[in-house]
Structure 1
Amino acid sequence: MTPSPRPGLLRDRDFRLLFAATALGQLGDRVVFLALPLVALTALDADEFQIGLLTATTTAGSLLVGLPAGAWVDRVRRRPVLIGTDLARALVLLSVPAAWWAGVLTVPWLYAVALAHGLLGVFFDVSYASYLPRLVGRDRLLEGNSTLSAVRSVTSISGPALAGPLVGGLGAAPTLLASSAGMTASALLALAIRGREEKPRPAARPHLRRDVLEGLRFVLARPALRATVLGDALFNLFLAVYQTMLLVFLERRLGLGASGVGLILSGMGCGALLGALTATRLARRLGQGRVIWLAPLLTCPLTVLTPLAHPGGPGVYAAAAGLAALSFGGVVRVVAQSSFQQALTPDRLLGRMNATARFVSWGGLPLGGLLGGASGTAFGARATLWLAAAGMTLSFLPAALSPLRGMRATDCARGADGRP
């Protein structure tokens, strides 16, 4: 596909449809992020370890199908995968309110829903990241990623803000109907994209194991790409630990209700929106490589403000500011990093590169969920948040010690290490 010659990607009809689909799909996903754990906490009285296990099952898909998903996506058109996985996730989420109304909802049921939703999410995310370069062209990847990150950030604000009152008024389980509706609408908008996507030419004798290994070698043999995924892996491991206890800490230790938790998470969305609006400018001024390691170094330490907070005190506002800073740094890093990874990778390897990056980067998320639940049970939510804040801060090291350290945006097309 060729990008529109007109200035501004939002003037392109197909990109506008992808933009709108992203908005509605992400809105549904952000409601899930708040509502699913709250179903376990409020409707089923789950304990800390059960919340950790729920987090682990949500993210286990990357470990189970992450690498094969990339090899498979490289053999098919990406848009039908986006449509199919959105519709399937919508049906999976409908089962939660249905089971709740029938009086048969259990914590294991939530585990099953979280696992299915996560598995489908792997195929969606790998296809999405591989579809964007074909839709907008490689010369506009930074603009495309930044624009789509902006809409994700807006939904990070509106999703929890919408979910909080819905959970308070309807209950956590019925709120998942909104998530299902958002993903259905996302699929319908993606279906309306007109641009023709050519089916990738398969190898003479496709072989899953060989294709998977080719993707692994491509990423791990390049120092700059390897640094991005290793830094992500460390960050995401401790982010999962942090997030596992965050809702527990906010709801049970600070005494915030569903609406209060929604407002705190909306504040995180404000930080993410600011990050999306400034990411392109920062990447061009400082260099994409510098942004990738400076962002976590400067913003992750502020997450210690959350465990310092106490019920009813001003520390709650400081905690919200720290979480907003975490989101700001995360979005700035991801925009720079995603554009760099996509620009360095040939079309035929995009699916496998994205899947390999996701497998390595997100592979620790289930472990982080389990560690967060176990640590919360043994030491309490507050101590676990301290530990996770330190771990997230250390995630700057792989990029800072790699060829990414001083790269500027123009280096990405040539490759950080001189390799195509």
Structure 2
Amino acid sequence: MGVTGQPGSIFQNRAFALFWSSQSISFLGTQITYVALPLTAVVVLDATPMEAGLLGALESLPFLLFGLFVGVFVDRRARRPILIWANAIRFAALAWIPTAYALDVLTMPQLLVVTFLVGVMTVFFEIAYMSYLPGLVDRDRLMEANAKLQASSSAAEVAGPGIAGGLISVISAPAVIAIDAVSYLVSALALVKMPADAAPKNSADAEGKQPIWASLREGFAVVGRNTLLRWCTVAVFFLSLFFSSVMAVYFLYLIREVGIGTTAVGLIVAVGSVGGLVGALLSERLNTWLGIGPTLVAALALPGIGFLLLSTVDGNSLSAAALAGVATFIGFFGIPVFDVTVISFRQSITPEHLQGRVNATVRSLSWGTLALGSLMGGALAGSLGLRETVVLSAAGLFVPSLLLLLSPVRGMRHLEKQADDPAEPSSVSSH
């Protein structure tokens, strides 16, 4: 693309600054829908626990179904047009929800269909976006770039739910979703002004000459040969499974089990999401202070601690709401730290023509498992109860940290520069 990094602030890179701005707008809209969509299901359409779990599953199920093949697709085409079309379609799909509600024809099946369609487009966007970013900034600034984007996402997680809670108390939850739809439209228009890129070259797969299954194996090989990526990919399976299980019943738990109102729930999520923002802002420093291995182990222990604390919340009171906020803060803190570290490393060691497949390999596992976890959470809540589901999911969230504690990752200290050869076994120093 011909865009290179510059000394000083990364925002001196105009392409990255525009990309960051458009993503920040989209992040805010997404977080508003994060609250408004399940509340539409629970409050407006009177969803059952299983329907709530299914709704959460359909957001991420497309990664499990299509993610690997989208990775091959992305590695054979320019990434920017994919980003533009994905956001344009997400705008149109989400715009249907407030339209149908205004026409008094909104149903649960419609909500599920829209959620699935948005999920499919999210597969294309996420894999293309992670493959497009390394062309905007120098590879030695990828962690900084990802930290800025993650901080933006976390800031939206702080502001979005509170804004959603306030708006929902004035207008309806479906109407609030219109804000997210508009944010995708704005992001699509901003991406039109981004630097154009070309389809990757210099590989048989980029030219479409390689069979799809052979292409997929190349992506698996990069992940399988690297110690950090291999163990973190296994850990993220359990993180996604149990995190999505607890989040599938999170809103039902706070509203029906604990008895907290919808406006307060939005504020609780906002207060808790400050943890994600702080984690994103501190990710680089924590890796410097503690080392890569200890940082990842500690970061993955926090979700279990936070949601175990959440399971003790009881009663609609100020102290209960405060405890729920603190618990969510702890639960959300470590995930951005883990993401920034592992994503930046993965992008830095992966050749340009393999970015789509390598990102798709990990994303398909992590986001695809979110669907299974959401279904598991809904099923557990239906058979055991909401509080019991939170307790069991919180216990499961300790598994990823224990896995890394028992693996070679725990002794790793520094990320070193990696050759542009995916066959390198590891670029992590333990001294």
Displacement of 1:299 in angstroms is 4.7
Aligned to 1:365: 370
Displacement of 1:227 in angstroms is 0.9
Matched, 1:321 2:326: yes
Q: How does 1:13-412 map to 2 (within 5 A)?
A: 13-193=14-194, 195-201=195-201, 202-203=206-207, 205-313=209-317, 314-411=319-416
Distance 1:204 1:156 in 2: 40
Which amino acid in the other structure matches residue 216 of structure 1?
F
SS of residue in 2 equivalent to 1:205: coil
CA 204–156 in structure 1, closer or farther in 2 if over 3 Å, else same: closer
Q: Which moved more, 1:344-353 or 1:233-242?
A: 344-353
Q: How many residue pairs align between the two structures?
A: 419
Q: Which moved more, 1:230-239 or 1:360-369?
A: 360-369
Distance 1:236 1:135 in 2: 29
Q: Which moved more, 1:155-164 or 1:308-317?
A: 308-317
Asked if the contact 2:246/2:393 (under 8 Å) is kept, the reply is yes
Which amino acid in the other structure matches residue 228 of structure 2?
A
CA 152–419 in structure 1, closer or farther in 2 if over 3 Å, else same: closer
Q: Which moved more, 1:378-387 or 1:286-295?
A: 286-295
Distance 1:325 1:147 in 2: 21
Displacement of 1:296 in angstroms is 1.3
Which amino acid in the other structure matches residue 351 of structure 2?
P
Asked if the contact 1:224/1:417 (under 8 Å) is kept, the reply is no
Displacement of 1:213 in angstroms is 2.0
1:117-160 alpha-carbon deviations (Å, 9 max, x no partner): 11110110011111111111111011101111111111111111
Distance 1:380 1:322 in 2: 20
Asked if the contact 1:163/1:175 (under 8 Å) is kept, the reply is yes
1:311-360 alpha-carbon deviations (Å, 9 max, x no partner): 13423312211211121111111111111111221111111010000112
1:170-189 alpha-carbon deviations (Å, 9 max, x no partner): 11111111010111111111
1:278-323 alpha-carbon deviations (Å, 9 max, x no partner): 1111112222233222211245313211110111342331221121
Matched, 1:413 2:418: yes
CA 342–411 in structure 1, closer or farther in 2 if over 3 Å, else same: same
Which amino acid in the other structure matches residue 198 of structure 1?
A
Distance 1:220 1:258 in 2: 44
Asked if the contact 1:306/1:316 (under 8 Å) is kept, the reply is no
Distance 2:316 2:264 in 1: 12
Distance 1:383 1:242 in 2: 10
Displacement of 1:401 in angstroms is 3.0
Displacement of 1:419 in angstroms is 7.2
Which amino acid in the other structure matches residue 70 of structure 1?
G
Which amino acid in the other structure matches residue 317 of structure 1?
A
SS of residue in 1 equivalent to 2:142: helix
Which amino acid in the other structure matches residue 179 of structure 1?
D
Displacement of 1:81 in angstroms is 1.3
Which amino acid in the other structure matches residue 357 of structure 1?
V
Please report the TM-score for the alignment, with normalisation by the length of structure 2.
Answer: 0.93
Distance 1:379 1:322 in 2: 22
Which amino acid in the other structure matches residue 236 of structure 1?
S
Displacement of 1:361 in angstroms is 1.7
Asked if the contact 1:35/1:173 (under 8 Å) is kept, the reply is yes
Distance 1:42 1:292 in 2: 38
SS of residue in 2 equivalent to 1:136: coil
Which amino acid in the other structure matches residue 279 of structure 2?
G
Asked if the contact 2:225/2:426 (under 8 Å) is kept, the reply is no
Which amino acid in the other structure matches residue 129 of structure 2?
Y
Q: Which ranges in structure 1 are unaligned for 5 or more consecutive residues?
A: none
Q: Which moved more, 1:209-218 or 1:262-271?
A: 209-218
Q: Which moved more, 1:161-170 or 1:347-356?
A: 161-170
Displacement of 1:60 in angstroms is 0.6
Asked if the contact 1:238/1:391 (under 8 Å) is kept, the reply is yes
Distance 1:397 1:177 in 2: 42
Displacement of 1:204 in angstroms is 6.2
Asked if the contact 1:237/1:362 (under 8 Å) is kept, the reply is no
Distance 1:41 1:298 in 2: 28
Asked if the contact 1:288/1:337 (under 8 Å) is kept, the reply is no
Displacement of 1:378 in angstroms is 1.1
SS of residue in 2 equivalent to 1:105: coil
Asked if the contact 2:293/2:410 (under 8 Å) is kept, the reply is yes
1:340-391 alpha-carbon deviations (Å, 9 max, x no partner): 1112211111110100001122222111111111111111110100011111
Q: Which moved more, 1:30-39 or 1:216-225?
A: 216-225
1:76-134 alpha-carbon deviations (Å, 9 max, x no partner): 11122111111110100011111112222111111101111111101100111111111
Q: Which moved more, 1:106-115 or 1:316-325?
A: 316-325
Q: Which moved more, 1:280-289 or 1:266-275?
A: 280-289
Q: Which ranges in structure 2 are unaligned for 5 or more consecutive residues?
A: none
